Amino acid sequence: MGLKITLIMIVIMGVITAGFYWYYRDSQAKIAVLNENNAKLEIAVATQEQAIGQLRSDIKLTGKIIEETNRSLAAARKQVTETEYKFNKTSKLLGERDIGRIALAKPGPVQKIINNGTLDMFRCFEIISGSPLTEKEVNVEKKSKANTSCPSIANPNYILPN
């Protein structure tokens, strides 16, 4: 009887030891998987933080570009308003300008004025596109020689009288 109890106890202790061994191996495998997952998550977090930093710098750059574009747009609107004023202003002596009526009355001079204005505008587009200023444009001294379409660009040293 004592031998049976000893054998039963040895079997029970063997089963318990085997259970603990299995539990230990299983726990170690789970810990290894969790460590791998943790490493992957740390890499993902680092990548996301880098992406977020890049997005923040892109947003700042976009804001600067928007501000610059808005300033350019405001300047362009101002030039459009000034140009509209030039074409629509009312003179005390001559009244409102009507280019069509004036062109019918004096076609030669109007054609010359329009052609010169068109040439001036084309030159403005050339300068804006990167063409360098000529020496004449830089050193202009008379209003008749100045580019009145875009004087601040074409004739930077000449101030047009109002």
Residue pLDDT, tens place only, 71-108: 999 998 998 888 777 766 676 666 677 777 788 888 99
Q: Are residues 22 and 42 in the same domain?
A: yes
Q: State the sign of the Cα–Cα–Cα–Cα dihedral 58, 63, 67, 69.
A: positive
- Whole-structure pTM over 0.75, yes or no? no
What is the percent of the chain where pLDDT is above 70? 93
Instruction: Identify which has the larger pLDDT, 98 or 143.
Output: 143
Domain that holds residue 21: 1-97
Q: Is the pLDDT of residue 161 over 80?
A: no
Q: Which residues of 23-33 are buried (b: 16+ CB within 10 A; e: fewer)?
A: eeeeeeeeeee
Domain count across the chain: 2
For residue 67, is pLDDT > 80? yes
In this structure, what are the phi and psi dihedrals at residue 65, rounded to the nearest 5 degrees?
-65, -40
Phi-psi region of 95 (alpha: psi -120 to 50; beta: other; left: phi over 0): left
Q: Are residues 74 and 111 in the same domain?
A: no
Per 3-state DSSP, the chain is made up of helix, strand and coil in percentages (nearest 5) of 80, 0, 20
Q: What type of residue sits at position 66? A: I
The residue out of 62, 97, 132 marking a domain boundary is 97
User: Given 44, 72, 97, which residue is the final one in a domain?
Assistant: 97
139 DSSP assignment: T
pLDDT, tens digit (0-9, with 9 covering 90-100), for 48-59: 999 999 999 999
Q: Based on the domain organization, do 72 and 106 belong to the same domain? A: no
